[in-house]
Structure 1
């Protein structure tokens, strides 16, 4: 076999044995867990209610 063909075969075999080692996406790529709740119970509304009077 040629060197390029041997390398391609090694890579194919490694992919077959190990699978996809890197996830296609992580939780950091989404809004999950960042407090993006909307509506009356959201964190933004809570913070706006807690503003001291002199910050008017």
Structure 2
């Protein structure tokens, strides 16, 4: 009884280790792209150039009711 065939993109012969690029492509084909290349932690989410205020802080300030002063 023959064994399972190697998946496409695996090493050319059984027992040959696949390269990191081949492994990444194989896993992406099976699971899809699970994580973005860049997360919000990596980006500079500022309101404007030189404003010094993060987008989350600006949103929070916009949510303060008028009777709490400003």
Same fold, TM exceeding 0.5? no
TM-score of the pair, normalised by structure 2: 0.30
If asked which structure has higher relative contact order (CA below 8 Å, sep 6+), I would say 2
